[in-house]
Amino acid sequence: MISLAEMYVEGRGVKRDKVLAYAWYTVAMEKGNEQQRKRAEMKRDRLVENGIFRWFFGMTGGKIREAEELARSYKEGQLLKRKS
């Protein structure tokens, strides 16, 4: 799942999408072993905390909430897909 998040961060084979990257990192934090959880958490937090990423990706509070809602939906068995 970390690889899926990284695909969205880098735009490898998919359109770059910070919200989906954040959502996949969130899912990975809950699905992996301890080492994978820590790695996913660190990468997810960088999307928000790192000044360059914050400027580049524009991870505002609204987008973070959207990503968290997507991750919650995925856990409930729905596809991880943005409305817009």
Residue 80 domain flag: no
Answer for the pair 47, 18: CB distance below 8 angstroms, yes or no: yes
Mean pLDDT on 52-75: 72
pTM of this prediction? 0.70
Kindly report the CA angle at 17 between 69 and 74, in degrees rounded to 5? Answer: 30
Residue 23 domain flag: yes
Residues listed for the chain: 84
Select from 22, 56, 52 the least CA-distant residue to 40.
22
Report the domain count for the chain.
Answer: 1
Residue 33 domain flag: yes
Residue 46 domain flag: yes
- Residues 6 or more apart from 65 whose CB is under 8 A from it? none
Residue 28 domain flag: yes
pLDDT given for residue 72 in this prediction = 85
Mean pLDDT on 36-63: 73
Residue 81 domain flag: no
Answer for the pair 73, 80: CB distance below 8 angstroms, yes or no: yes
What is the residue range of 50's domain? 2-75
Looking at the predicted structure, is the pLDDT value of residue 60 above 60? Answer: yes
